[in-house]
Amino acid sequence: MKNRNKVLLLGTAGCFALSLTSVAVAAAVDGPEFITAADVAAIDPSDDSTTRYIVKYKDGSTSTLQSGAQTVSAYSVQKAETLARKYKGKVVKHLSSVKSSVLELNPRQLKAMVSDPAVQYIEVDQKRYLFDVITPMAQSTPYGIPMVQANLVSDANAANTKVCVIDTGYTLSHADLPNSGVSGFAFSGHGSWSSDGNGHGTHVAGTMVALNNNDGVIGVLPSAQADVHIVKIFNDSGNWTFASDLIDGIESCQTAGAKVVNMSLGGGSSSQTEQTAMTNFYNSGMLLIAAAGNAGNTSLSYPASYNAVVSVAAVDSSRNLASFSQRNAQVELAGPGVAVNSTWNNGGYNSISGTSMASP
């Protein structure tokens, strides 16, 4: 369960040894905000601007139309489409695993849809951001490897394991990164998963799997024994993504056979749909790891603060808590996160800081 008494110093190598039964599954600590009829009572009827929402349907049901009357029937994408057309909402996608749809709605459409008897709740599709602080510093080796004792642990048993990195992509051409046993998926408009115009994802991946090849740096799994699946969820600017996209991203990891997922990202608002999805992934046997956040206070970030996700704070080379690291009751582990040297998208290396660097 979420460890509220102490914070362990551990990296991805140690996380392989975590028992999946040790994570308690419960509701989000900071409850999500659902849209209510009262929220939209005073809308401006002339406002045509749209916002992206997640619409959760009641247990196994969506509404259909029969002879002008509304009835309830079993959930399906087709019936969800029918409901969206009824309110003239723009369908972004469907999240069938959690019986939800992502829609763009203006205030008038939102007001009408929130009262539909087949709708359980509507919530804003929350944004998720990268958790890095670019602070280039001179450092020749990744001090975090001996700190988490990854150099003392053989990764021979990782041969039947696949890890997943949800980030900005992966520089497949980098000489210090595996180029076999690597698969990937990129969201539409983000280019190829095997390229990384930002660098963040390549850095995170290097911390996990950079090769022990007498060159550059080494990762916590340096022998190319573990397979890797990359989900490119951010574009090259790395500005933000949506909670609903994160759900899709983890589904890609699951389909690829990954059991360990790293998410060096997050945001300050919880999502009930996202929390439910995380619980479902956990129950399926996946280990979900996320950065605790870079606000430097006790505020909560998500998905790290869901009880089905392992939250990782950052420490420096002296094992002191990083000034930027969030520190709250949901944090379970701490990892090296200050001036971490790892692979970069230019074929070289870079030292950057953040809880993003600590979680892998």
Q: How many CA atoms lie within 13 A of 173 on its CB side?
A: 8
The answer as to whether 203 is a domain residue is yes
The answer as to whether 352 is a domain residue is yes
Q: Assess whether 91 and 141 both reside in one domain.
A: no
Q: Assess whether 177 and 222 both reside in one domain.
A: yes
DSSP 215-257: SS---SSTTS-SEEEEEE-S-TT---EEHHHHHHHHHHHHHHT
Give the whole-angstrom CA distance, residue 51 versus residue 90.
Answer: 10
The answer as to whether 248 is a domain residue is yes
Q: Assess whether 206 and 315 both reside in one domain.
A: yes
User: Which domain covers residue 149, as residue numbers?
Assistant: 8-29+128-358
Q: What are phi and psi of 58, to 5 degrees?
A: -65, 160
Average pLDDT over residues 157-171: 87
Give the whole-angstrom CA distance, residue 295 versus residue 255.
Answer: 33
Q: Assess whether 315 and 256 both reside in one domain.
A: yes
Q: What are phi and psi of 337, to 5 degrees?
A: -140, 5
Dihedral of the CA atoms 249, 309, 132, 204 (nearest 10)? -60
pLDDT in tens, 53-89: 999 998 755 554 443 444 445 678 888 899 999 999 9
| Pair type for strands 227-232 and 162-167 | parallel
- The residue type of 231 is V
Whose structure tokens read 């929130």?
A: 114
Q: Cα–Cα distances in Å, from 110 out to 16, 32, 47, 79, 102?
A: 44, 18, 12, 18, 12
The answer as to whether 67 is a domain residue is yes
Query: Which of 89, 137, 139, 140 has the alpha carbon at shortest distance from 116?
Result: 89
Q: Is the pLDDT of residue 159 over 80?
A: no
Domain limit, last residue, from 59, 81, 113:
113
Global confidence as pTM: 0.85
**Three-class secondary structure of residue 179 per DSSP:** coil
Q: Assess whether 70 and 168 both reside in one domain.
A: no
pLDDT in tens, 254-285: 999 999 999 999 999 999 999 999 999 999 99
Active site residues: 167, 200, 356
Average pLDDT over residues 279-304: 98
Partners of residue 312 on adjacent β-strands: 291, 333
pLDDT exceeding 70 applies to what percent of the chain?
Answer: 80
Q: Assess whether 62 and 101 both reside in one domain.
A: yes
Give the whole-angstrom CA distance, residue 86 versus residue 119.
Answer: 13
CA of residue 220 relative to chain centroid, distance: 21
Domain limit, last residue, from 86, 113, 140:
113
Q: The domain that contains 198 carries what CATH number?
A: 3.40.50.200
Q: Is the pLDDT of residue 220 over 70?
A: yes
Q: Assess whether 226 and 340 both reside in one domain.
A: yes
Q: Assess whether 68 and 207 both reside in one domain.
A: no
Whose structure tokens read 């660098």?
A: 199
The answer as to whether 321 is a domain residue is yes
| Pair type for strands 309-315 and 260-263 | unpaired
Query: Which of 228, 250, 129, 236 has the alpha carbon at shortest distance from 190?
Result: 236
Q: The domain that contains 56 carries what CATH number?
A: 3.30.70
The answer as to whether 88 is a domain residue is yes
Per-residue model confidence (pLDDT) at position 79: 84
Assigned token pair, 359: 């979680």
By mean pLDDT, which of 34-43, 201-210, 280-289, 294-303 is the weakest?
Answer: 34-43
Per-range mean pLDDT, top range of 137-146, 204-213, 260-269: 260-269
Q: Is the pLDDT of residue 171 over 70?
A: yes
Q: Assess whether 76 and 151 both reside in one domain.
A: no
Q: 298 or 153, which is more confident? A: 298
The answer as to whether 119 is a domain residue is no
Q: Assess whether 80 and 205 both reside in one domain.
A: no
Count up the domains in the chain and report the number. 2
